[in-house]
Amino acid sequence: MRNPRTRWVAGGAALLSLSLSACGGSGFNDDTDQADSQASAGPASLNVLIESSGDAETKAVKEAVQTWATDSGNKATVTPAQDMAQQMGQGFASNNPPDVFYVDSKRFATYASAGNLEPYGDSFEGKDDFYPALRQAFTYDGKLYCVPKDFSTLGLQINITAWSKAGLTDADIPTTWDELAAVAKKLTTSKQVGLALGDTRDRIGAFMVQAGGWVTNKDATKVTADSPENLKALNFVKSLLADGSTKYPKQLDSGWSGEAFGKQKAAMTIEGNWIVGAMKNDYPGVKYKTVPLPTGPAGKGTLAFTQCWGIAAKSKNKAAALDFVKAMTTKDIQLTFAKAFGVMPSRQSASADYVAQYPQDKAFIDGAVYAQAPVNVAKIEQVLEDFDTGLQGLPNADPKQILARLQKNAEAVVGQ
């Protein structure tokens, strides 16, 4: 599986890509007609760059691509990126990006705003089969630029042995914030904390959604960070941390919450479906189950993490690239990828088959209906990283001040 600590958080290299990608120009000019004519002149040769989680993903993608190449008469070279953000930034800046590539939802708006992406999504056959929240993640200025290739959501993992030891049953599975707080306290012992919680917006943000809040409005045109809903969420997280029933991974000598959970330093955690592979490979003896996140004051809420198949606006092989994306996003291929490296299919029509094959993951895929995708604003990554720093100061930091700072900083970016 992808490293859960880095898969959805862009580092310094991503900041480099933000400045480089802005050099890509609009990308929409006479080159489009030229590219299409070149693409129709004969077999195309595509360069495909992927942000692979490891050998299993690389192998599965290469096999699927080889089948497409054989069937279509085209060629394609698949390259696993060493540093996706940096390599894409350099490709855009030099007007020589790969034809097709993974686009993380956190980088999408920056690439789209710079004109680096071909906006093929609105005319993509069967686009409505992709979950609405995932389509929204790749919509910019009212255009669906690219279709999601897969996704992940968050769920609540429970250590079955610790649960039973505490005298808890299925009737005690928390469905509200109050119930979560209660069982976290009951599960906390001298050797084990009740809940291990990641210390960034990629975990804590789920409580914001459950409270009815988020960083921006739905179309990302207005910052809504400093709101009563978000304050209620951060105050709740602060209370969990303050009473000792919940701890951040670093307080448990762990790199991420899944590690703390696997080492049984925590009886519960909140993680995505990538934890399945980690538990199987690193902690096979730990018995656990995943249930939906508790409902907050405003209802159900979780976070979605997704990537799309991007096509470069500067590609000279757009027709072949589009055919490639169609082949890589069929229901059967998505289910093949799910089996090979643990992602969930982004097509709604594949959900029943997925649940039939992986019933233990039902809570994850059910969350797609009410999931919130990452903030869809260009060049906002540094602002969100600053927000994470504020969250890491809890429980001692003031949630009101954290949100006020986020509001001010985010408004400066959205207003650009």
Task: Say whether the peptide bond before residue 395 is cis (omega within 30 degrees of 0).
Answer: yes
Query: What residues have CB less than 8 Å from 79, skipping those under 6 apart?
Result: 47, 48, 49, 50, 98
What pLDDT shows up at residue 35? 41
Domain locations along the chain: 12-152+305-372, 154-303+379-414
Q: What's the pTM value of the predicted model, to 2 decimals?
A: 0.87
Q: Do domains 12-152+305-372 and 154-303+379-414 have the same CATH topology?
A: yes
Number of residues that make up the chain: 416
CA distance linking residue 306 with residue 231, whole number of Å: 26
Written as tens digits, the pLDDT of the chain (416 aa) is 334 433 333 333 333 333 333 333 333 333 444 444 344 445 999 999 999 999 999 999 999 999 999 999 999 999 999 999 999 999 999 999 999 999 999 999 999 999 999 999 999 999 999 999 999 999 999 999 999 999 999 999 999 999 999 999 999 999 999 999 999 999 999 999 999 999 999 999 999 999 999 999 988 999 999 999 999 999 999 999 999 999 999 999 999 999 999 999 999 999 999 999 899 999 999 999 999 999 999 999 999 999 999 999 999 999 999 999 999 999 999 999 999 998 999 999 999 999 999 999 999 999 999 999 999 999 999 999 999 999 999 999 999 999 999 999 999 999 76
What pLDDT shows up at residue 193? 98
CA distance linking residue 370 with residue 310, whole number of Å: 25
As a CATH number, domain 12-152+305-372 is 3.40.190.10
Query: What residues have CB less than 8 Å from 310, skipping those under 6 apart?
Result: 100, 101, 102, 103, 108, 111, 117, 118, 145, 146
CB 140 within 8 A of CB 118: no
The letter for the amino acid at 227 is S
Give the architecture (CATH level 2) of 154-303+379-414.
3-Layer(aba) Sandwich (3.40)
What pLDDT shows up at residue 151? 96
Helix (H), strand (E), coil (C) string for the chain: CCCCCCCCCCCHHHHHHHHHHHHHCCCCCCHHHHHHHHHHCCCCEEEEEECCCCHHHHHHHHHHHHHHHHHHCCEEEEEECCCHHHHHHHHHHCCCCCCEEEEEHHHHHHHHHCCCECCCHHHCCCHHHECHHHHHHCEECCEECCCEEEEEEEEEEEEHHHHHHCCCCHHHCCCEHHHHHHHHHHHCCCCCEEEECCCCHHHHHHHHHHCCCCCECCCCCCECCCCHHHHHHHHHHHHHHHCCCEECHHHHCCCCHHHHHHCCCEEEEEEECCHHHHHHHHCCCCCEEEECCCEECCECCEEEEEEEEEEECCCCCHHHHHHHHHHHCCHHHHHHHHHHHCCECCEHHHHHHHHHHCHHHHHHHHHHHHEECCCCCCCCHHHHHHHHHHHCCCCCCCHHHHHHHHHHHHHHHHCC
CA distances to 130, 198, 312 from 348, in Å: 6, 29, 26
